[in-house]
Structure 1
Amino acid sequence: MTMTTLRPWREIAVPHEDVLKGTFQQAEFAADLSRVHDGTASPEYGDPVLFFKRTYITEGMRLLLDSVLKRITGQGGDPVIQLQTAFGGGKTHTMLAVYHLARGTVPASDLQGIPPILDAAGVIDLPKARVVVIDGTRLSPNMPDKRGSVKVRTMWGDLAWQLGGEEAYAQIQEADESGTSPGKETLARLLAQYAPCVILMDELVAYIRQFDEKTKLAGGTYGSNITFMQALTEATKAVPNAVLLASLPESDQEAGLGQGVAALHTLEHYFARVQALWKPVAAEEAFEIVRRRLFAEITNTAAVETVCRSFAHLYITSGPEFPRETQESRYYDRLVKAYPIHPEVFDRLYEDWSSLENFQRTRGVLKLMAKVIHRLWKDGNNDLLILPGSLPLYDGDTRNEMIYYLPQGWDPVVERDIDGDRAGTTEIESRDTRFGSVQACRRVARTVFLGSAPGTPNRMMQGIEQERVLLGSIQPGQQTSVFRDALHRLSDRLYYLNSADNRYWFDTRPNLRREMEERKKRFDEKDDVIPAIADGVKKAVSKGIFDGIHIFTVSGDIPDDSALRLVVLPPHAHYGKSDVQMATICAAEYIKHRGDQPRHRQNRLIFLAADAENVRLLTDHIRSMLAWESIVSDYKNKRIVLDNLMGDNAANNLDMARRTVARTIRETYRWLLVPIQELDAGRVSPDIAWESYSINPGAENPVKEIERVLKENEALIAEWSPIHLSNLLKRWFWTDETTDMKAGEFWENTCRYLYLPRLLNRDVLKRTIEVGADTKDYFGLAAGKDGEKYIDFTFGKGRRSVVVDDSLLLIEPAAAAAYEESIRPPETPYPVDTPFGGSESHEGSTVVTSGGSFPVPTPTPAGTSSVKTRFYGSVEVDPITAKMAFGQIVDEVVAQFTSRPNTTVTIKVEISAVDKKGFDENLQRAVRENSALLKIAPAEFERE
């Protein structure tokens, strides 16, 4: 289900007029029983029809009204009911429901929710009852109240006057004037005379705690008032159609100090004998109470169910991302009941905020949510539900309403960290559109605030879990990963946000992050930050293919030799998209100079530079890491005092900072700069040009990634073809006058000149020469030159284990061929006396084998010189391995003679092949053509 098919809450649930206009007053949320009784209350409380229309009859209230109905109709019911709930828990509101129902000023059928209660109680004709309202905050212990022609001084005088005016007052006048309590019999007669009657006593403790034992006031004494309450409860029990409802505070703290606590305990003792204790509002019933009071009736139930079903589906499909209770089917029912407010808002307010001393359970929620809804409606909020993440803490009224109940110091927390134009959340969202597009940071921070602010000081387990943060922030169609990442980002950045064991909370005490931020300013860039960056780069970039890695090294300390070196430039020499590239300017100085001296081997340096856009971020991360290191060090050495949780947080933050630095270094140092000199019209440009390559910061091994990038872009050559070597020699070094080139000198040139290839090392050139020596296509080789004569000359004959130095000559192929021809001896014919396979050699003959034919020396006559002037040899070779064997013969034997200037060497090869099945025409044709090409003659086939 997509967001486009779901309607926001403002299109389905319309707030009441006073909420929309913001004209509600705080007093309107405090139901005042006396003002209703006097007829001065607002219509929503004073008008019975409107009151019940906006009142949700909870199960507790239904049972209480049922009992009252039975009592005033003489059908049973509880005579005395004590309403004892948390502060702001709906006591007075419940009394108002009894008040309007018992007085019967309008037909019961007009009161929403009442007819089913009458039917259940079996009441057809509801009698009108006399209703007495005694409000302890309105009575004065020492100021008689003028009623008609009499002055009422005490609670019992007020009770009698409200029951029957002067006639009823006359029955207890003496007790009222003397301040002594009438007996229970007198009270019982009075109640029976004016029954059915309902007595509502609100704020009773607030009145009685004003008396003491020693001082007698117009309203009596402490003892007389306590005695009156005991007598009244007993009298009410004796009258079948009389009922007493009294509200008592739930705790000593709400009762007040000293006498208030004593009065509460005494009244609880007396009421316990006859009371029916009742707690009006269950937690989930508060949903409907708030909705009735703040919103007009919702008629589009289908749209409500669609929205709630989409939330339930989100929670079930995401599973562990959200709290366990969201996986139950009944959570959908909670969503529907609480609509348009998310149940998590109620849970946090009723479970956490209601524990605060001044927060009134129902009244406080109504007052806060009225401000929230007014601001959201005014700002055009289009959330599907009003979630904890929707709370407009940027609004002064809403923020003040919430922090009013909290200890001092929360205003800067909200303003700096949570919500508003200057908050850290807003700043992060403005820089990261991934968060800003859904207000992820602000919604997450508001949720954490709602769930943690009231309970932080006293809880054993601080804060709320990540899954509950997500529950209060995310709507269908949004990705949980965005909000999860936002939470982690805030945990890294905000001053007042704390985290531990997957729980998050705000606190008025600055967390260690503020200490860290302050310490960040202490570190000097030159002495602290740059060395730390260098250390991080050193850990990231190992030696690998490079002979040396130089991190932020001055040019004078980098050797000018043939070793391949990676120079890591300092952060200020960064590379980016700007017109002025500091990296290339700095690197050019390294290329041109070694300290005060010119650098000769310029082609052996490759540079690694920082990305210009990341340098500032890296510097900030380095400072953070150094700050965390100093905090952890001071904590371990007892230079600062931290609790265990903060100590663990500091250690965790240090680990995280180190990981962040390691990642940021890879993301920052990602530019490879390779110097080159370009050719222009066949001439080498005098200016240095730069090729830049970006390396992957996510590579597992950075130096391997550098090697891959260099090789793939041919900025570094590890394997080279002889054709490229030959072409370079032809282009730059072989001329009409100079047809040979020293291999060592060529290697030195590749180290010096930026227009030549950059070889990994000398071995690359060695292997290339060895491969190229196998053919006459590229170059000839010699071990030196004596005048015009090449020493150890070879051409097209493989040579192994060559040494790349100045004695090894690379000879231009045409010149090598001409030289080879010049040293070839004239052919001397020798008769062949012994056919192939002959067993003897004779004077003047030639032995011919598959390995070659060699002249046979003539025996020296007796008496002549014994100096040996001729050599011959004969060998048979396996035709399968003939090529390799013949090469060995040439290298090991023939080369001994060819290296002598005046030695004539003749080699002839005889090939004989026999196949009894015969040779087909294709093979014969191929052999003849190849033989003609290779000048093999004769080359004929014959029959045996």
Structure 2
Amino acid sequence: MASRPKPWHQLAHLKDELRTGELTLAEFAADLHEVALARGRHAIYEDPQRFFSLTYPTLPLRDLVKDVAERLAGKSNKAVRQLELTYGGGKTHTLITLYHLFGKEAQALPDVGAVRDFREHMGGGEFPKARVATLCFDKIDVEKGIAGVRAPDGEQRTLRHPWSVLAFQLAGADGLRSIHGEGKDEERETPPAEPLLAALLEAPNDQGLATLVLVDEVLTYARQRVAGSESWQGRIVDFFQYLVQAVIKVDRAAMVASLLASDPAAQAGSLGEALRANISQVFRRQHEEGIQPIEKEDVAEVLRRRFFDDLPDQESYRSHVIRIVGGLDRLEEDPARSRTEEESRFLASFPFHPDLTEVFYSRWTQIDGFQRTRGMLRTMAMALRDAEGWDPSPVVGPAALLTQDGTGTSAAMRELAGVVDAAATESTSQWSNLVEAELDKAQQVQQEVPILAEQREVEQAVITTFLHSQPIGGKANTSDLLRTIGSGVPDPIELDKGLRRWRDVSWFLDDADAADGEGGSKLPRSWRLGKRPNLRHMHDEARRERVTEDDVKSRLQVEIGKAKGELDGGARAAGADVHTLPGSPKDVGDDGAFRYVILGPQGVSDSGKPSPTACRYINETTGPNRPRVNRNAVVVAVPSRDGLANMEEAVRTLLAWEDVNRQLDNQSVDPLQGQRLRMQLTDARKRVPDAVRQGYATVVTVNEDNQIHAFKLAPSAGPLFPEIKNDQRSRIQETPVDAEALLPEGPYDLWREGEDAHFVKDLAGAFARDPRLPKFLTPKTILDTILQGVERGLLVARQARPDGSARTWWNCRVDQEATASQELEVVLPNKAELGDLPQELLAPEVLPDLWQGSKLPVASLASYFSGSHQAKIPQESYDDYLQVPKCPEQALLAATKAAVTQGNVWLVNGPTSMWKEEASADMLEGGELRPPPEPIPASELTEDALPGAWN
């Protein structure tokens, strides 16, 4: 990560008066009347030295001073100028500038930079001196008038009408007499006509002075006056009509007027609008082009002069600015401005972020109640005073509007929020509360993405979005947002992650904007905060207030039951009996079949800690007094505690989105909001089965020591049952074992001392009962192993007949009927006696070690099947042995006869031989068995081959 540039307050130092609180917020409201009274209450405006040290002579303001100076010198016809400003845009400050420059006949102007700039711009020389009359209409009470009106000789009076105030300031009592119908030193009730006013304006010429009339806050007075009596609407308009005409006729007279009221309510409504339109029309007919003393490019310098000690030349900050702009370049793939342009912007605005002053100037000035320059001064004063000690940002940006400890909202933010709330006509929600809620969300995000906690970029994003969202309908483009909050050189990837996370958790980001980047890796195209809760807020409210725990538990049971593919996928096909959410252990059979049990939340267990509920399904059947016999055939899947919490969370989320959907079902929904809601519902529905699958992470079963144990599976995206089956701790075997493992010397120890036979069903059932044995998914798997042992001669199968005799099978397949019999036994060969012997076994190369060469004496069969013979089976590097069971002589003879008759062997006894014909007992006695004779080719039976035989 790139190193951070220095904080702004290490490079630019606040004025002591701001830092200590000596400069109060009230002092940003310039008051022309107080300056005229010169009572010392507002030294920052009354003292020219202090006033001009804080004044930035913008080009429009210098042009205005030059024009007024030329008019007062009689060298220009630009007599009437109107300040075309929004509230708090520097109009009163402009009027005070003119008051100090052209009034104060006996007092020299201070030698400060601003005064020098004004003088230089008007061509040098001294400023023309004038008698200045101030008409501060907001100070004229409609009933009592205004006190402290000062005449040129110092006399003060209280006067009621604006023309009286003008006359007394210009000529004292003589002024009042000059406009009175009877020449009395009294006020008149109607406005004087233009000739009387022109004569009044010329009166200062007698002392060699020009005349300057400064008009402020006209609409404040006019609205109240007309509200009391409609006849006053005509009087006020006539007064200004006559005054404007009179000023134009007097060569060294000028008037600069600001008509708008500082309080927007003063011109609100039809009456206020009508007054503004009528008075403005009078000025439009006569005045030159309007003046806007402070333009956008001047704002930063105005703020600098007001709040900071003299700053070095801009070039001294270039390296600092280059680092900032370099960091911003990393945040945008295609910046709107070139790097050179951006560096110039930051240099011109330093220590303020140019986009911060831009949003105030271009957007907030459209809000009723936010006073352009004055509003920024008040906001910045509060922000800078609080942020100087902690703000890590390299420029004064949105971070300055945060609180140091992150609790609540700053005084500056509360003031801004109050301005917007006051301008609102519909919503009763308080912006301060909404912004505080979003800041809480941002702090949560910064905890998740800790690298953003130092510069607090996500909190800055909240402030920036709020500022850009005003007035109603405004929004911040993503490029604007990144550029405003990115001056601290954040990591682009982490910042992107943090902003996307804020988008996801925000309660008041507009859904239409948030939907741009929904579900993807890109940020939305725009960001807008509104007072209307977004889908996320509605969702969170539903989770908190309407989705109950009972709702979650009930729905979770349903979702678990539906998650068949995730939880029991492949179990039935593998042969297991699946029990999903059984009501009790009695619902799980105990017949030796493999039982795969899926319990609900009541079975929740952690590794090494099987729950009592899960244990009951292994230990019991119908109750504690009916223990389960086949404990080794039961495997229980249960949720882990973490997994259960995640499942409940996923279900709660889904229920909340479904609640939101019901709320909006009968409402007119914005298409983008509707699309986002459908996406959220789809995602929530997909998440539940996955959460269920991942939640079932614990397996409960018996181990080799016959102890119930619980173990946790490794995370996996596949179905649950295959994961359980493949985990060695489950001890599940799907394929048959080798039949030799079933013998007494095998690993399973199935034969107790003295045992020589087992019923097949009992031997197969041992694997379901005995925890030392592996678990087989189906009894047939074990049965196949047993039958395989019979076919290989390792075991003898025996089935008793009702007459006490028995059918036996050895080294052959047991027929299907016998296999299904509950009476089928397996006997160890050394303890078995065959009831009959399949004749096929006597053929050469069938039984090991039976034939010694090409002859098998019939008499040797008795020795081979004596019950004590072990046939040798040569292997590659050792000899193996097969125990041959006993076979009675009668069965041997029967098998031998059948083998001869069937042609599997050839019987030879002396000169007589038999093959494929029934042999007598005499033939068998002393006879030898040989392999079947080779077939005789037909060519060897011809007359030529056997001439004697054909005679």
2:644 paired residue among 583, 593, 615: 615
1:404 aligned onto 2:418 = yes
Instruction: Look up the match of 1:665.
Output: 692
1:755 paired residue among 749, 772, 796: 772
Instruction: Look up the match of 1:234.
Output: 245
Instruction: Look up the match of 1:357.
Output: 368
Identity %: 20
Instruction: Look up the match of 2:634.
Output: 605
Q: Is the alpha carbon distance of 1:552 and 1:486 closer, same or farther for their aligned partners in structure 2, counting shifts above 3 Å? A: farther
Letter of the aligned partner of 2:554 in structure 1? D
Instruction: Look up the match of 2:378.
Output: 367
Q: What's the offset of the Cα at 1:246?
A: 0.6
Instruction: Look up the match of 1:675.
Output: 701
Instruction: Look up the match of 1:134.
Output: 135
Q: What's the offset of the Cα at 1:112?
A: 2.3
Q: Is the alpha carbon distance of 1:733 and 1:652 closer, same or farther for their aligned partners in structure 2, counting shifts above 3 Å? A: closer
Whole-angstrom distance in 2 between the partners of 1:365 and 1:306: 28
Contact 1:72 1:242 in 2 (8 A): yes
Deviations 1:624-648 (A, max 9, x none): 4224324424643x4x787777766
Q: Is the alpha carbon distance of 1:332 and 1:689 closer, same or farther for their aligned partners in structure 2, counting shifts above 3 Å? A: same
Query: Which secondary structure does the structure 1 equivalent of 2:378 belong to?
Result: helix
1:263 aligned onto 2:314 = no
Instruction: Look up the match of 2:947.
Output: none
Q: Is the alpha carbon distance of 1:490 and 1:417 closer, same or farther for their aligned partners in structure 2, counting shifts above 3 Å? A: farther
Whole-angstrom distance in 2 between the partners of 1:78 and 1:824: 136
Letter of the aligned partner of 2:918 in structure 1? V
Q: Is the alpha carbon distance of 1:311 and 1:607 closer, same or farther for their aligned partners in structure 2, counting shifts above 3 Å? A: farther
1:207 aligned onto 2:221 = yes
Q: TM-score, normalised by structure 2?
A: 0.72
Q: What's the offset of the Cα at 1:30?
A: 0.5
1:279 paired residue among 265, 283, 292: 292
Q: What's the offset of the Cα at 1:317?
A: 2.4
Q: What's the offset of the Cα at 1:42?
A: 2.9
* 1:488-503 pair list within 5 angstroms: 498-502=510-514, 503=527
Letter of the aligned partner of 2:398 in structure 1? P
Query: Which secondary structure does the structure 2 equivalent of 1:606 belong to?
Result: strand
Count residues in correspondence: 829
Query: Which secondary structure does the structure 1 equivalent of 2:421 belong to?
Result: coil
Contact 1:156 1:181 in 2 (8 A): no
Whole-angstrom distance in 1 between the partners of 2:915 and 2:135: 160
Whole-angstrom distance in 1 between the partners of 2:933 and 2:320: 97
Whole-angstrom distance in 2 between the partners of 1:772 and 1:281: 104
Q: What's the offset of the Cα at 1:291?
A: 3.1
1:381 aligned onto 2:391 = yes
Q: Is the alpha carbon distance of 1:223 and 1:525 closer, same or farther for their aligned partners in structure 2, counting shifts above 3 Å? A: closer
Letter of the aligned partner of 2:43 in structure 1? P
Deviations 1:479-532 (A, max 9, x none): 456555555656665665552342442416695346514653456258734434
Moved more, 720-729 or 257-266: 720-729
Contact 1:575 1:610 in 2 (8 A): yes
Whole-angstrom distance in 2 between the partners of 1:549 and 1:905: 57
Deviations 1:853-898 (A, max 9, x none): 976746987999963479xxxxxxxxxxxxxxxxxxxxxxxxxxxx
Instruction: Look up the match of 1:32.
Output: 31
Moved more, 245-254 or 227-236: 245-254
Moved more, 718-727 or 33-42: 718-727
Q: TM-score, normalised by structure 1?
A: 0.73
Contact 2:417 2:432 in 1 (8 A): no
Query: Which secondary structure does the structure 1 equivalent of 2:529 belong to?
Result: strand
Letter of the aligned partner of 2:140 in structure 1? L
Query: Which secondary structure does the structure 2 equivalent of 1:407 belong to?
Result: helix
Whole-angstrom distance in 2 between the partners of 1:725 and 1:329: 86
Deviations 1:320-367 (A, max 9, x none): 6x9x64777534443444444434433443444433322222212221
Q: What's the offset of the Cα at 1:245?
A: 0.9
Q: What's the offset of the Cα at 1:375?
A: 2.5
Letter of the aligned partner of 1:63 in structure 2? D
Q: What's the offset of the Cα at 1:32?
A: 1.0
Q: Is the alpha carbon distance of 1:226 and 1:804 closer, same or farther for their aligned partners in structure 2, counting shifts above 3 Å? A: same
Whole-angstrom distance in 2 between the partners of 1:56 and 1:740: 113
Moved more, 38-47 or 426-435: 426-435
Unpaired runs of 5+ residues, structure 1, are: 680-684, 832-852, 871-899, 911-944
Q: What's the offset of the Cα at 1:376?
A: 2.5
Deviations 1:542-591 (A, max 9, x none): 522454544332332234455555433322432347x9x3x443221111
Q: Is the alpha carbon distance of 1:435 and 1:612 closer, same or farther for their aligned partners in structure 2, counting shifts above 3 Å? A: farther
Query: Which secondary structure does the structure 2 equivalent of 1:275 belong to?
Result: coil
1:710 aligned onto 2:726 = yes
Whole-angstrom distance in 2 between the partners of 1:805 and 1:283: 101
Instruction: Look up the match of 1:313.
Output: 326
State the Cα RMSD in Å: 5.3
Q: What's the offset of the Cα at 1:368?
A: 2.2
2:655 paired residue among 623, 626, 634: 626
Deviations 1:699-719 (A, max 9, x none): 2x3347725x83466743345
Instruction: Look up the match of 1:567.
Output: 597
Letter of the aligned partner of 1:384 in structure 2? P
Q: Is the alpha carbon distance of 1:314 and 1:588 closer, same or farther for their aligned partners in structure 2, counting shifts above 3 Å? A: same
Contact 2:701 2:730 in 1 (8 A): no
Contact 1:854 1:906 in 2 (8 A): yes
Deviations 1:88-141 (A, max 9, x none): 121112222333333478877833245455444433444444433221123355
1:87 aligned onto 2:87 = yes
Q: What's the offset of the Cα at 1:655?
A: 3.5
Contact 1:536 1:661 in 2 (8 A): no
Instruction: Look up the match of 1:890.
Output: none
Contact 1:13 1:298 in 2 (8 A): yes
Q: What's the offset of the Cα at 1:451?
A: 3.8
Instruction: Look up the match of 1:793.
Output: 810
Letter of the aligned partner of 1:756 in structure 2? L
Q: Is the alpha carbon distance of 1:668 and 1:190 closer, same or farther for their aligned partners in structure 2, counting shifts above 3 Å? A: farther
Letter of the aligned partner of 2:91 in structure 1? K
Instruction: Look up the match of 1:693.
Output: 713
Whole-angstrom distance in 1 between the partners of 2:561 and 2:399: 42
Contact 1:78 1:276 in 2 (8 A): no
Whole-angstrom distance in 1 between the partners of 2:430 and 2:77: 54
Contact 1:61 1:94 in 2 (8 A): yes
Deviations 1:595-652 (A, max 9, x none): 434333333333333232353454244234224324424643x4x7877777666545
Whole-angstrom distance in 2 between the partners of 1:733 and 1:545: 28
Deviations 1:707-737 (A, max 9, x none): 5x83466743345764877798344124664
Instruction: Look up the match of 1:15.
Output: 14
Deviations 1:278-322 (A, max 9, x none): 2233334323323332333344967854554444334432326x9
Contact 1:212 1:222 in 2 (8 A): yes
Whole-angstrom distance in 1 between the partners of 2:175 and 2:915: 176
Whole-angstrom distance in 2 between the partners of 1:214 and 1:42: 33
Contact 2:55 2:302 in 1 (8 A): yes
Letter of the aligned partner of 1:122 in structure 2? G
Contact 2:314 2:348 in 1 (8 A): no
Deviations 1:442-475 (A, max 9, x none): 44444444444x444xx3xx75566655555555
Instruction: Look up the match of 2:529.
Output: 505
Q: Is the alpha carbon distance of 1:588 and 1:191 closer, same or farther for their aligned partners in structure 2, counting shifts above 3 Å? A: same
Whole-angstrom distance in 2 between the partners of 1:339 and 1:814: 104
Letter of the aligned partner of 2:769 in structure 1? R
Instruction: Look up the match of 2:307.
Output: 294
Q: Is the alpha carbon distance of 1:901 and 1:371 closer, same or farther for their aligned partners in structure 2, counting shifts above 3 Å? A: farther
Q: What's the offset of the Cα at 1:31?
A: 0.9
